[in-house]
């Protein structure tokens, strides 16, 4: 898996998380649900370890990573096809230029994104998702801090001190894309099983199916950098080609946001209650949490105990600040392991 840059991603914690997951074998593969898949790095590790993976995230820009690298096991994007994505088509939409030129990109870069977004649709679905995943990754490299909830991108990209520390912010988008493409192509692999990537509210997905052996839940940590739609609004607008939205604030984020009950204090406890009911048929749950979220660890533990499962609580202390979602030095990452045995 190419290295990820997604707030709250679990790339560094994979060995720790998977030490609590049983082994899956080709003779008897286990079905693994990654319910809040984000960067898809956990799904990818599960696929690598021989699980049959179902990935899901509310954000379409996250779904593209899972569709391109988890569900897709065979299709890569050739250099020749990739080059054509940057040609100027006739009648390309001007969405990115209109919304984000002068905020995050120059006029010509934003125009290039409009061309890419129109052209990418001629690719078959799996390759299209892969191409979008590469572009989303290129865009987070281009913008300092890797998210779109600030308005400093163009200022930083012209600041020699910042550029020395992070040369990517001054590189052309097209170059960032072609730097990343070989890594993504190499990461496409088939583990012999059929995988799926969904783009929906996890509660709706579980309503339709809960036929899994293991579920990994890594929800937004409520009250601790949980507003993923503000951080990644630009990728979502780019992916969905939003037209039926307002665009608000200095960053021009779309409004209203997609509905999720996991990132608001008023609704989060009820959302977990519904999640635990719907996931009842799944024998093993692993739930990532941290000690700066609402409800706090003790309350959350009590909610889990009320399900009647056996609960283990494991802690991992961050040694260095990695930014985002409370993963600051001294804070603890928690993993609840809930078994129905």
Please enumerate in sequence order all residues whose Cβ is within 8 A of that of 164, keeping only pairs 6 or more positions apart, or say none: none
Token pair of 258 as six digits: 């997609």
> Which chain residues interact with ligand SAM by CB under 6 A?
6, 8-10, 36-39, 41-42, 56-59, 62, 201-202, 218-220, 228, 260, 262
Of 36 and 100, which CB lies nearer to ligand SAM in the complex structure?
A: 36
CB of 169 to ligand SAM, least distance (A): 22
- Is residue 45 classed as helix, strand or coil in its secondary structure? helix
CB of 9 to ligand SAM, least distance (A): 3
In this structure, the chain runs to a length of 341
d(CA 144, CA 167) in angstroms, rounded, equals 10
CB of 17 to ligand SAM, least distance (A): 9
Of 59 and 96, which CB lies nearer to ligand SAM in the complex structure?
A: 59
Judge residue 322's burial from the number of C-beta atoms within 10 Å of its C-beta, 0-12 exposed, 13-18 middle, 19 or more buried.
middle
Of 115 and 230, which CB lies nearer to ligand SAM in the complex structure?
A: 230
CB of 64 to ligand SAM, least distance (A): 12
Instruction: Name the residue number minimizing CB distance to ligand SAM.
Output: 38
Of 33 and 338, which CB lies nearer to ligand SAM in the complex structure?
A: 33
Please enumerate in sequence order all residues whose Cβ is within 8 A of that of 297, keeping only pairs 6 or more positions apart, or say none: 289, 291, 313, 334
Token pair of 188 as six digits: 């496409």
List of E strands, the chain: 31-34, 52-56, 196-198, 214-217, 246-248, 253-255, 284-290, 310-317, 332-339
* Short-list 220, 296, 279, CA closest to 8: 220
d(CA 240, CA 219) in angstroms, rounded, equals 22
CB of 205 to ligand SAM, least distance (A): 8
CB of 66 to ligand SAM, least distance (A): 10
Q: Does a cis peptide bond (omega within 30 degrees of 0) precede residue 277?
A: no
Of 154 and 297, which CB lies nearer to ligand SAM in the complex structure?
A: 297
Of 57 and 291, which CB lies nearer to ligand SAM in the complex structure?
A: 57
Of 82 and 286, which CB lies nearer to ligand SAM in the complex structure?
A: 286
CB of 226 to ligand SAM, least distance (A): 8
Of 225 and 309, which CB lies nearer to ligand SAM in the complex structure?
A: 225
* Short-list 268, 243, 263, 266, CA closest to 254: 243
Cα distances from 200 to residues 59, 83, 137, 206, 259, in angstroms, run: 8, 32, 21, 10, 10
- Is residue 187 classed as helix, strand or coil in its secondary structure? helix
d(CA 41, CA 49) in angstroms, rounded, equals 12
CB of 85 to ligand SAM, least distance (A): 25
């Amino acid at each position: 898996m190419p290295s990820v840059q997604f707030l709250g991603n679990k790339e560094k914690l994979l060995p720790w998380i998977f030490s609590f997951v049983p082994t899956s074998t080709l003779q008897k593969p286990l079905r693994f649900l990654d319910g809040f898949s984000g960067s898809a790095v956990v799904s990818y590790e599960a696929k690598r370890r021989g699980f049959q993976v179902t990935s899901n995230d509310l954000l379409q820009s996250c779904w593209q990573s899972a569709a391109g690298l988890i569900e897709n096991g065979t299709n890569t994007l050739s250099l020749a096809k990739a080059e054509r994505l940057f040609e100027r088509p006739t009648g390309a939409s001007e969405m990115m230029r209109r919304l984000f030129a002068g905020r995050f990109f120059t006029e010509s870069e934003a125009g290039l994104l409009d061309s890419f977004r129109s052209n990418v649709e001629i690719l078959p679905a799996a390759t299209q998702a892969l191409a979008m995943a590469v572009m989303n990754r290129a865009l987070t490299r281009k913008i300092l801090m890797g998210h779109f909830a600030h308005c400093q991108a163009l200022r930083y990209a012209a600041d020699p001190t910042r550029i020395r520390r992070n040369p990517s912010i001054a590189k052309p988008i097209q170059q960032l894309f072609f730097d990343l493409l070989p890594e993504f192509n190499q990461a496409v692999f088939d583990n012999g099983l059929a995988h799926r990537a969904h783009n929906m509210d996890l509660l709706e997905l579980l309503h339709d199916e809960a036929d899994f052996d293991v579920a990994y839940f890594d929800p937004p940590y409520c009250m601790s950098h949980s507003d993923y739609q503000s951080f990644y609004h630009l990728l979502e607008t780019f992916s969905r080609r939003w037209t039926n939205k307002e665009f608000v604030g200095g960053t021009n984020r779309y409004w209203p946001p997609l509905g999720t009950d996991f990132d608001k204090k008023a609704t989060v406890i009820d959302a977990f209650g519904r999640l635990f009911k719907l996931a009842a048929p799944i024998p093993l749950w692993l739930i990532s949490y941290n000690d700066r979220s609402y409800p706090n660890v003790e309350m959350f533990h009590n909610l889990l105990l009320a399900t009647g499962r056996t609960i283990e609580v494991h802690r991992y202390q961050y040694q260095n600040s990695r930014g985002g979602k409370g993963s600051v030095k001294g804070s603890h990452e928690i993993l609840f392991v809930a078994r129905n045995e």
